[in-house]
Structure 1
Amino acid sequence: MNKVTIVGSINLDTNLRVQRMVKPGETIHGKEHYTAAGGKGANQAVAAARAECDTRFIGAVGNDAAGDQMLDLLKEENIDVSGVEMLQNEATGQAFITIDDNGENAIMFYAGANYAFGPKEVAQNAELIETSDFVIAQFETPLEATTEAFEIARQANVKTILNPAPGESNLPEELLKATDIIVPNETEAETITGIHVKDEASAKEAAKKFHELGVEVVIITFGAKGAFYDYNGHSELVPAFKEKAVDTTAAGDTFIGIMSSILEKDFSNLKDAILYSNKASSLTIQRFGAQPSIPFKNEIK
Structure 2
Amino acid sequence: MTNKVVVLGSLNVDTTLHIDQMPKPGETISAKSKTNSAGGKGANQAVAAARSGAQTSFIGQVGDDSNGIFMIDALKLDGINTDHVGINQVDGTGSAVILLDSQGQNSIMVYGGANQAMKTEVIADSQALIKSADILISEFETPQEVTYEAFKLAKQHGVTTILNPAPASKIIYGLLEVTDLIVPNETESATLTGIEVNDTDSMDQNAAKFSEMGIDNLIITVGDRGAYYHTPSDSGFVPAFKVKAKDTTAAGDTFIGAFSSQIDKDLSNIEAALVYAQKASSITVQRLGALPSIPTAEEIKAEYK
Q: TM-score range by the shorter chain?
A: over 0.9
Match of 1:295 in 2: 295
The residue correspondences of 1:87-166 to structure 2 (distance < 5 A) are 87-166=88-167
Corresponding residue SS for 1:174:
coil
Structure 1: 5+ residue runs without aligned partners? none
Q: 2:207, 2:216 within 8 Å by CA — same for their partners in 1?
A: no
Match of 1:231 in 2: 231
- CA deviations 1:181-231 (Å, max 9, x no partner) are 000011111111111111111011111111222223100000010000011
Corresponding residue SS for 2:228:
strand
Match of 2:35 in 1: 34
Q: 1:9, 1:40 within 8 Å by CA — same for their partners in 2?
A: yes
The residue correspondences of 1:189-204 to structure 2 (distance < 5 A) are 189-204=189-204
One-letter amino acid of the counterpart of residue 29, structure 1: S
Match of 1:221 in 2: 221
- CA deviations 1:231-270 (Å, max 9, x no partner) are 1232111000000111000000000000000101121110
Distance across 1 between alignment mates of 2:53 and 2:43: 15
Match of 2:84 in 1: 83
User: How much identity, in percent, do the aligned residues show?
Assistant: 52
Matched, 1:70 2:59: no
Distance across 2 between alignment mates of 1:173 and 1:203: 24
- CA deviations 1:127-148 (Å, max 9, x no partner) are 1111000000000000100101
Match of 1:282 in 2: 282
One-letter amino acid of the counterpart of residue 291, structure 1: L
Q: 1:99, 1:105 within 8 Å by CA — same for their partners in 2?
A: yes
Match of 1:266 in 2: 266
Question: Where has structure 1 moved over 3 Å in runs of 4 or more?
Answer: none
Distance across 2 between alignment mates of 1:153 and 1:123: 12
Distance across 2 between alignment mates of 1:146 and 1:196: 27
**Cα RMSD between the aligned structures?**
0.8
Structure 2: 5+ residue runs without aligned partners? none
TM-score norm. by structure 1 comes to 0.98
Corresponding residue SS for 1:173:
coil
Distance across 2 between alignment mates of 1:145 and 1:209: 25
Matched, 1:254 2:264: no
Q: Give 1:173 deviation, angstroms.
A: 2.9
Distance across 1 between alignment mates of 2:90 and 2:288: 32
Match of 2:53 in 1: 52
Q: 1:10, 1:59 within 8 Å by CA — same for their partners in 2?
A: yes
Distance across 1 between alignment mates of 2:212 and 2:179: 12
Corresponding residue SS for 2:141:
coil
TM-score norm. by structure 2 comes to 0.97
Corresponding residue SS for 2:23:
coil
Match of 2:174 in 1: 174
Q: 1:173, 1:213 within 8 Å by CA — same for their partners in 2?
A: no
Match of 2:207 in 1: 207
Match of 1:24 in 2: 25
One-letter amino acid of the counterpart of residue 76, structure 1: L
Q: Give 1:7 deviation, angstroms.
A: 0.4
Distance across 1 between alignment mates of 2:98 and 2:123: 29
Distance across 1 between alignment mates of 2:87 and 2:260: 27
Distance across 1 between alignment mates of 2:276 and 2:78: 21
Distance across 1 between alignment mates of 2:152 and 2:119: 14
**After the TM superposition, which of the residue ranges 29-38 and 91-100 deviates more from structure 2?**
29-38
**After the TM superposition, which of the residue ranges 34-43 and 121-130 deviates more from structure 2?**
121-130
Paired residue total:
300
- CA deviations 1:90-145 (Å, max 9, x no partner) are 10000000100111000000000001112111221111111000000000000100
One-letter amino acid of the counterpart of residue 167, structure 1: A
Distance across 2 between alignment mates of 1:172 and 1:73: 31
Distance across 2 between alignment mates of 1:234 and 1:269: 11
